[in-house]
Amino acid sequence: MQYFVVMIDYGRRGREAVVDPEITRREVISRIASGEYRNVSFIHEIAENSVEDVTEVLLAEAALPRIPPDDIDLQAASLDHARDLRKHERT
């Protein structure tokens, strides 16, 4: 049997350990990326008789890719938006 223990720190309000044997690794990463799991203290992977700290690995996998601002053409985006507005005004 394999499962994850996600310890969430709420500061003065205490801590909560989320333990659900049905949550997969992919689901833990998804919940971190979506913001459902915030202020994670640690994540342990329990498999058979061993415990492994996988906090850094899962947090790194959940990190969203950074897009440098140079790759975004803001002027083109505003012109496209203005064109779309004019198109909808005609109908």
pLDDT in tens, 48-85: 889 999 999 999 999 866 556 555 666 666 777 778 78
pLDDT, tens only, 4-55:
999 999 888 899 999 999 999 999 999 999 989 989 999 999 998 899 999 9
Helix (H) or strand (E) holding 72: none
The Cα 80–Cα 88 span in angstroms is: 13
Range of the domain at 35: 2-90
3-class secondary structure, 50: strand
Number of domains in the chain: 1
DSSP helix/strand/coil, 77: helix
Torsion of CA 75, 77, 78, 81, to 10 degrees: 160
Q: Kindly report whether the global pTM for this prediction surpasses the value 0.75.
A: no
